[in-house]
Amino acid sequence: MKKTFPLAAVLIALFAASFFIVPLVATFYFSLKMTRGELGFAAYASVFNSADFLTTISYSTVASLIAIAVGAVIIVPTAYWVRLKVPHLRPVVEFISLLPLIVPPVVLVFGYIRLFGSNSYLPLTTTTAGTDVLLVLGYVVLSMPYMFRAVDNGMAAIDIATLTEAAESLGASRLRTIAFVIFPNVRAAIIAGAFLTFSISLGEFVLASLLNRPAFGPYLVQLGQDRAYEPAALAIMSFAFTWGCMALMQLFATRKPGQRWLPRLMTPAKRTTP
Amino acid sequence: MTLDAAASRTEMRAPRPKAMQRPALDWNWLGVAPFFLFAFLFLIGPVLYLVAGAFQNADGDFTFANILELGSPNIVASFSLTIRLSVLSALMGAVAGLLLGQAVILGGLPGWVRNAFTTFSGVASNFAGVPLAFAFIATLGRLGLVTVLLRDLFGINIYGMGFNLFSFFGVSVVYLYFQLPLMFLIIAPALDGLKTEWREAAEILGASRRQYWQMIGLPVLFPTILGCFLLLFANAFGTLATVYALMGSGFDVVPIVLFQQIRGNVLYNPNLGYALALGMVVIMGVSNTLYLILRNRAERWQK
């Protein structure tokens, strides 16, 4: 088998590659045809000149960034604590962190609307700010499986027990240990999870639409109904965006703790030599 | 869910003996309390509320009426459509992903091919939702580039031949764009786990390639393949944005029906909506749980 040319394998690989690439090429080409008779970036210009595009994409960017921050603040101490002090709770925490893969977003947001509706103890959906909070927390929930796994893998790569003991012998409080020792050491893992979160929530449609927020996802759907060429341009841009997020995620996920090529934001943390 | 409450209760009652003598009460569980509080408020609570609502009527009394109403013809039709669509797209994804994995990982192609497919799959399995629908409309829609090229250059009118992107089959082709890469990614470790010794042993005993796959490769992979199929099934079942952007609100898959119901466009019976949500969670939960069980079973071979 090894002597002959792997014809079948080559054919399958070529077929799969063309299935992946042709829609991208076609969409890109389609997006260039907005001006009749010539190829150009008119569709892209039209997208960037649209006020709705700019407001919705800024709204979604801010919502996603806050979701990442909130997610990190919830997940990192939990993953730390589970590893360090309550390892027997790990199955429960892991199970909960995987639940969002079982609960579809449409079910989740239905629950939000009912549970936090006008006659509940916590009527978040009655105010704009409250609905924004719900949207962000919903994104935190949706990204929990990825964030938890990324952070947990990051913690597996460093010796948190020794780091904690070292910090404690130097007199650091628990909070200080988490903020200035653990956080910087799993920063790469957090950033890896953050890029995935970002790529999920930026164009998210279901939550934003049902909570009636002016986010990018509903804008995309509306545009798809109204226009022909701009959606193709946006599809190409969002593919490039997803690609960028994944590439950066890979970069950070495979990076060893302590390996540095970005300027440190905080005082140098303890380094481990595994 | 009651699981975490029970766990923290046992934790309080019976602290683990530590090397150092500890006080009788162990407060360590408090460290994970914020996580449990968040999960309870914004994940478990809302779902439990819907589950409870599925067994209540409008006045809050216990009833099975909503569950029974799931048996009404239009709801059954919509579950059936969703399940058929998910099965078809999961089958296509599983078969294509397995073929691709087999070709790229075991087929004797250079290593960079595998790396390229792995990288691309990581991106493509996350490239779902509205933009994916746009890309396929620009490609295989009525005026899509491939449609037009095939018609003008080769005289093949795919719409004349019965293909339609905005149809049951068309949707499953679009789903294939994220199902195939997902399958490729999750089957790769299992393909790596097929030991070369097994193949060599089979070859020495005179087995053909076909016999090797039929009697060794596929039986060993079977739990993994079945598990991956279930994961792809659940993945398709929960998909809303892609199919909504492609087909609009008239395509009655369960997520769209629920979406419309929440918007208040149909049904006007929230409790029936709860029952729909319960049905979705049950189907997703069962297929994901089976996936995890099968994956654990399959990992026996991957030591």
Question: Chain A partners of B136 at a C-beta cutoff of 8 Å?
Answer: 23
Task: Pick the residue of B13, B18, B20, B35 with the most A CBs within 10 A to test the interface with A by mutation.
Answer: B35
CB contact under 8 A, A107 and B8: no
Of B79, B121, B127, which to mutate for an interface test with A (greatest number of A Cβ within 10 Å)?
B127
> What secondary structure letter does DSSP report for B266?
S
Q: CB-CB: which of A12, A20, A101 is closest to B120?
A: A20
Question: Which residues on B lie below 8 Å from A144 (Cβ)?
Answer: 43
Which residue among A27, A96, A109 places its CB closest to the CB of B39? A96
Tokens 């939000």, located at residue: A112
Span A25-69, pLDDT tens digits: 999 998 998 888 788 888 898 889 888 999 999 999 999 999 999
Contact B82, B35 (CB under 8 A): no
Smallest CA–CA separation between A109 and chain B, in Å?
8
Please report residues of B whose CB lies closer than 8 A to that of A115. 45-46, 49
Greatest Cα pair distance, chain A, in angstroms, is 73
Q: Give the number of A-B residue pairs with CB atoms closer than 8 Å.
A: 258
**Residue A86 with chain B: CB contacts under 8 Å:** 11, 28-29, 31-32
- CB within 8 Å of B131: residues ≥ 6 apart: A203, A220, A231, A234, A235, A238, A239
pLDDT in tens, chain A (274 residues): 445 678 888 999 999 999 999 999 999 998 998 888 788 888 898 889 888 999 999 999 999 999 999 999 999 999 999 998 888 889 899 999 989 988 999 999 999 998 888 777 788 888 899 999 999 999 999 999 999 998 998 898 888 889 999 999 999 888 888 888 888 888 888 888 888 888 888 889 999 999 999 999 999 999 988 888 899 999 899 888 888 888 888 788 776 655 655 555 555 555 554 4
Q: What is the pLDDT of residue B35?
A: 94
The reply to whether B238 touches chain A by the CB within 8 Å rule is: yes
Task: Please state which of the ranges A162-171, A197-206, B15-24, B181-190 shows the lowest mean pLDDT.
Answer: B15-24
The answer to whether residue B155 scores a pLDDT higher than 80 is: yes
> Among A126, A24, A114, A25, which residue's Cα sits nearest to residue B277?
A114
Could you count the other beta carbons within 10 Å of the beta carbon of residue B84?
13
Q: Are B127 and A221 within 8 A, CB to CB?
A: no
Pairwise CB contact (< 8 Å): A138 & B270: no
Contact B107 A19 (CB under 8 A): no
In this model, does residue B74 exceed pLDDT 60? yes
Select from A10, A25, A28, A30 the residue whose CB has the most chain B CBs within 10 Å, as the one to mutate to test that interface: A30
Round to whole Å and give the CA distance between A231 and A223.
7
Indicate yes or no: CB of A93 within 8 angstroms of CB of B32: yes
Could you write out the DSSP letters of every residue in B170-197? HHHHHHHHHHHHHHHHHHHHHHHTS-HH
Interface test with A, best of B40, B123, B180 (most A CBs within 10 A): B123
B144-178: b (≥16 Cβ within 10 Å) or e: bbbbeebeeeeeeebeeeeeebbeeebbbbbbbbb
Kindly list the residues from chain A whose CB atom is less than 8 angstroms away from the CB atom of residue B53. Answer: 114
ipTM of the complex: 0.84
Q: Are B43 and B4 in contact (CB under 8 A)?
A: no
The token pair at A12 is 């399958």
Centroid of chain to Cα B3? 24
pLDDT of residue A109: 93
CA distance A143 to A148: 8
CA of B288, closest CA in chain A: separation in Å? 7
Q: What is the pLDDT of residue B267?
A: 53
Q: What percent of chain B has pLDDT over 70?
A: 89
Q: Say which CATH topology domain B72-302 has.
A: MetI-like fold (1.10.3720)
The Cα–Cα gap between B63 and B55 comes to 5
Q: What sections of B238-269 are H helices per DSSP? A: 241-247, 254-263
Where does CATH 1.10.3720.10 sit in chain B? 72-302
Q: How far is the C-alpha of A223 from the C-alpha of A203, rounded, in Å?
A: 13
Question: Cα separation of A17 and A15, whole Å?
Answer: 5
**Position B2 pLDDT exceeds 60:** no
* B36 vs B51: CA distance, rounded Å: 19
Long-range residue pairs from B52-56, CB within 8 A, at least 24 positions apart, any chain = B53/A114, B53/B270, B53/B271, B53/B274, B54/B271, B54/B274, B54/B275, B54/B277, B54/B278, B56/B271, B56/B274
CA–CA min distance A41, chain B (Å): 16
Domain boundaries, chain A: 51-253
Residues 55-84 of B with CB under 8 A from A: none
Asked if A141's CB is within 8 angstroms of B273's CB, the reply is no
CB contact (8 A) between residue A224 and residue B34: no
Consecutive H or E run containing B202: helix B196-204
- Which has the closest alpha carbon to A215: A52, A50, A44, A45? A52
Across the interface, of B120, B209, B259, the residue whose CB is closest to A106 is: B259
**b/e string for A34-65 if b means 16 or more Cβ within 10 A?**
beeeeeeebbbeebeebeebeebbebbeebbb
The CATH architecture of the domain made up of A51-253 is Orthogonal Bundle (1.10)
pLDDT of residue B36: 94
**What's the CA gap between B255 and B259, in Å, rounded?**
6
B294 C-beta neighbours (distance < 10 Å), count: 20
Nearest to B241 among A13, A89, A217 (CB): A217
Using the 8-state DSSP alphabet, how is residue B213 labeled?
I
Q: Give mean pLDDT, residues B68-91.
A: 92
The shortest C-alpha distance from B259 to chain A (Å) reads 7
pLDDT tens-digit readout, B285-297: 999 889 988 888 8
Closest Cβ opposite residue A107 in set B120, B270, B280 = B280
Closest CA to A235 of A9, A48, A18, A24: A24
Chain B residues with CB under 8 Å of A13 CB are 100, 103-104, 107, 109, 113, 117
Q: For residue A238, what are its two tokens?
A: 């969002």
Looking at the partner chain, which of B109, B130, B176 has a beta carbon nearest the beta carbon of A220?
Answer: B130
Q: What is the DSSP string of chain A?
A: --SS--HHHHHHHHHHHHHHHHHHHHHHHHHTT-STTS--SHHHHHHHT-HHHHHHHHHHHHHHHHHHHHHHHHHHHHHHHHHHT-GGGHHHHHHHHHGGGTS-HHHHHHHHHHHTSTTSSS-GGGSHHHHHHHHHHHHHHHHHHHHHHHHHHHHHHS-HHHHHHHHHHTT--HHHHIIIIIHHHTHHHHHHHHHHHHHHHTT--HHHHHTT---HHHHHHHHHHH-SHHHHHHHHHHHHHHHHHHHHHHHHHTSPTT---S--SSSPPP----
B158 touching chain A per CB within 8 A: no
Chain A residues in contact with B285 (beta carbon < 8 A) = 102
